[in-house]
């Protein structure tokens, strides 16, 4: 009998007052009983609308049916046919805009907690003794992957399974891309990402860290001197945008990327950390996406007394994952909606002292259909602050384009590809944020998968 409860089975989480001061994971996952209770809400619909909402087409009703039976190994096998990173996606995918958006249970009540069930199955699998990974027989072909984020890891994994000799070149000192340098430990524990990286190395993938392609080696050198027959560019969109308002060069103004990299990757909040971070008391985070929420919640954990999210539209338009907004509020982050900074004011030592802000209202819809924020006349006010974090978007770094002959990009920097991830340069493929601009983990993985298939076809055709 299906469970006809209109609400999702609740997931335990750390007490907001406690978690606002630690970096341990907030949501604690379902027990087996909770997972079974939630799985029983799935109606196993014939037309499977949830599957159409999943960018990698996980056969959702099938894996949920196995959870109902208590056969978690079978559930994991079904998920892993489509997704290489289920423990990651179960935690960070915006399910409310994808699979769960299409769930028929959402017509009357809450959708089935598909993300929570995916996380449960992946965590169950990770808790079992690891089966020895068998290295596939080598096929004699070499592929280079630039960047070790979800697109690069997925592409590398799919090619390694086919016997390719794959080397991932990563600019930072740790593999994982945004999964390690951007998304904080309290949303995505780093041992989960490391496990995925370890699985790849067990398959034979080589990972070269501290290798900035375009500086240390170019794509031309990789292909002409090092024998790589194809290259996948999964270098993300790590170049931060700023507002170009007065005061953005003051001490205490960070891009969210810098703030989060210091905090997450380099653990700047620890006593003996290799990098400093400002222990600010009043922090203004500008933006309304996941990046803004992560920066605000990290600032609280480092010890800020007041943290504001300042967003120029209203709460309804906040682009962050739905779950992150109440989590941030419960922890004490204050939301200043319909507000925009116009100037950052410094003290005599050039440190941030305050932010001059302006109230906004929503006007006519823009080309994308979202109502455009319009400044309210004579609405300026000054807010005390000693730190400002800009989380208003990122774009692809131009380094690879500027050092690779024949690689064309859009005006804003996104690499131009066809539907298979093939770029304008022979033998070079691309995917993830480097192509789309800042998007999501699952989309980046989907593009890594598509490109791996195209790279395989390209190399096999050449070898004939
Ligand atoms: C703070 C934050 C929170 C987010 N939260 C979510 C979320 O909750 N859910 C979600 O779905 N998405 C989220 N996203 C977006 C998601 O993480 C990205 O869309 C995804 O990681 C993109 O994957 P990618 O493989 O294209 O690139 P990335 O993950 O950016 O990885 C690119 C890698 O390439 C490396 N690189 C760059 N240039 C070079 C070079 N020249 N040579 C060698 N290596 C290079 C970088 O160091 C990086 O490791 C978030 C993003 C951020 C920043």
Residues 387, 271 share a domain = yes
Is 214 within the bounds of a domain? yes
Cβ atoms of 282 and 381 closer than 8 Å: no
Residues 6+ apart with CB under 8 A from 223: 144, 229, 231, 427
Residues 101, 36 share a domain = yes
Enter the DSSP assignment of 216. T
Residues 374, 254 share a domain = yes
385 lines ligand 1 (CB under 6 A): no
Residues 350, 225 share a domain = no
Q: What is the pLDDT of residues 400-450, one digit of tens each?
A: 999 999 999 999 999 999 999 999 999 999 999 999 999 999 999 999 999
The pLDDT of residue 272 is 82
Is 163 within the bounds of a domain? yes
Looking at 77, 92, 127, the residue that finishes a domain is 127
CA-angle at 445, arms to 34 and 77, nearest 5° = 45
Looking at 392, 410, 436, the residue that finishes a domain is 392
The pLDDT of residue 160 is 96
Which of 157, 176, 182 should be mutated for ligand 1, with most atoms under 8 A from CB? 182
pTM over 0.75: yes
Is 84 within the bounds of a domain? yes
Domain of 352?
242-392
Which stretches within 353-431 are classed as H helix?
399-402
Residues 382, 356 share a domain = yes
Q: What CATH code is carried by the domain that includes residue 218?
A: 3.50.50.60
Span of 129-138, 146-155, 160-169 with lowest mean pLDDT: 129-138
Residues 254, 367 share a domain = yes
Q: What CATH code is carried by the domain that includes residue 64?
A: 1.10.1060.10
Crossing angle of helices 72-80/60-69, nearest 10°? 170
184 lines ligand 1 (CB under 6 A): no
Kindly state the average pLDDT of the residues 328-342: 98
433 lines ligand 1 (CB under 6 A): yes
239 lines ligand 1 (CB under 6 A): no
Residues 411, 334 share a domain = no
- Residue identifier of the C-alpha nearest atom 14 of ligand 1: 440
Is 258 within the bounds of a domain? yes
Going from the Cα of 197 to the center of ligand 1, the distance in angstroms, rounded, reads 15
Span of 251-260, 270-279, 372-381 with lowest mean pLDDT: 270-279
Residues 6+ apart with CB under 8 A from 260: 181, 182, 184, 291, 294, 295, 298
The pLDDT of residue 137 is 96
Could you tell me whether strands 394-395 and 239-240 are parallel, antiparallel, or unpaired per DSSP bridges?
antiparallel
Residues 248, 381 share a domain = yes
If 0-12 CB within 10 Å is exposed, 13-18 middle and 19+ buried, where does residue 305 land? exposed
Going from the Cα of 2 to the center of ligand 1, the distance in angstroms, rounded, reads 39
Is 135 within the bounds of a domain? no
235 lines ligand 1 (CB under 6 A): yes
Q: Report the percentage of the chain scoring pLDDT > 90.
A: 90
Is 61 within the bounds of a domain? yes
The pLDDT of residue 341 is 98
- Residue identifier of the C-alpha nearest atom 12 of ligand 1: 440
The overall longest dimension of the chain from CA atoms, in Å, is 71
Which of 261, 290, 428 should be mutated for ligand 1, with most atoms under 8 A from CB? 290
The pLDDT of residue 312 is 97
Residues 385, 246 share a domain = yes
Residues 99, 49 share a domain = yes
Q: Is the pLDDT of residue 366 over 90?
A: no
Is 381 within the bounds of a domain? yes
Kindly state the average pLDDT of the residues 153-169: 97
The DSSP result for 245-283, as a single string, is: -TTTTSBTEEEHHHHHIIIIIS-TTSTT-SS-----SEE
260 lines ligand 1 (CB under 6 A): yes
Under the banding of pLDDT at 50, 70 and 90, the label for residue 270 is confident
Going from the Cα of 261 to the center of ligand 1, the distance in angstroms, rounded, reads 12
- When divided into structural domains, the chain yields a total of 3
Q: Which atom of ligand 1 is nearest to the CA of 294?
A: 1
Looking at 77, 97, 127, the residue that finishes a domain is 127
Which of 168, 189, 235 should be mutated for ligand 1, with most atoms under 8 A from CB? 235
94: tokens are 């915006």
Residues 388, 246 share a domain = yes
Q: Is the pLDDT of residue 131 over 90?
A: no
Is 329 within the bounds of a domain? yes
Residues 426, 440 share a domain = yes
Under the banding of pLDDT at 50, 70 and 90, the label for residue 224 is very high
Q: Which atom of ligand 1 is nearest to the CA of 187?
A: 8
Q: What is the pLDDT of residues 54-83, one digit of tens each?
A: 988 999 999 999 999 999 999 999 999 988
């Amino acid at each position: 009998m299906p469970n006809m409860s209109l609400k999702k089975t609740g997931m335990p989480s750390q007490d907001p007052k406690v978690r606002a001061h630690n970096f341990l994971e907030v949501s604690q996952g379902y027990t087996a009983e909770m997972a079974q209770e939630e799985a029983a809400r799935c109606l196993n619909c014939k037309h499977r609308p949830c599957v159409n909402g999943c960018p990698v087409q996980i056969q959702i009703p099938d894996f949920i049916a196995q959870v109902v039976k208590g056969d978690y190994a079978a559930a994991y096998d079904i998920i892993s046919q489509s997704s290489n990173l289920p423990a990651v996606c179960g935690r960070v995918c915006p399910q409310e805009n994808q699979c769960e958006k299409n769930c028929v249970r959402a017509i009357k009540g809450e959708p089935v907690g598909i993300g929570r069930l995916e996380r449960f199955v992946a965590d169950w699998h990770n808790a079992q003794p690891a089966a020895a990974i068998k290295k596939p027989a080598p096929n004699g072909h070499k592929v280079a992957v630039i960047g070790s984020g979800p697109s690069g890891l997925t592409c590398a994994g799919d090619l390694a399974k086919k016997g390719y000799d794959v080397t991932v070149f990563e600019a930072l000192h740790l593999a994982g891309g945004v999964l390690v340098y951007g998304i904080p430990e309290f949303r995505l524990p780093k041992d989960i990402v490391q496990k995925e990286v370890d699985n790849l190395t067990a398959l034979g993938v080589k990972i070269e860290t501290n290798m900035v392609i375009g500086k240390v080696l170019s794509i031309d050198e990789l292909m002409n001197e090092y024998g790589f027959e194809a290259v996948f560019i999964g270098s993300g969109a790590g170049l931060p945008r700023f507002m170009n308002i007065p005061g953005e060069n003051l001490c205490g103004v960070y891009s969210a990327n810098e703030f989060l990299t210091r905090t997450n990757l380099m653990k700047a909040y620890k006593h003996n950390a290799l990098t400093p971070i400002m222990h600010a008391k009043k922090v203004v985070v500008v933006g309304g996406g996941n990046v803004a929420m992560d920066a605000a919640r990290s600032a609280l954990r480092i010890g800020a007394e007041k943290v504001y999210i300042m967003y120029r539209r209203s709460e309804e338009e906040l682009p962050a994952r739905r779950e992150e907004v109440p989590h941030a509020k419960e922890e004490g982050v204050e939301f200043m909606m319909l507000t925009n900074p116009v100037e950052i004011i410094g003290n005599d030592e050039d440190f941030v002292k305050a932010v001059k802000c302006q109230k906004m209202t929503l006007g006519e819809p823009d080309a994308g259909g979202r109502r455009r924020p319009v400044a309210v006349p004579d609405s300026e006010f000054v807010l005390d602050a000693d730190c400002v974090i800009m989380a208003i978007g990122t774009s692809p770094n131009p380094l690879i384009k500027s050092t690779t002959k024949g690689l064309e990009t859009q005006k804003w920097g996104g690499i131009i590809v066809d539907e298979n991830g093939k770029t304008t340069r022979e033998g070079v493929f691309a995917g993830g944020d480097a192509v789309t601009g800042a998007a999501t983990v699952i989309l980046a993985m989907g593009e890594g998968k598509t490109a791996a298939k195209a790279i395989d076809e390209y190399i096999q055709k050449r070898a004939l």
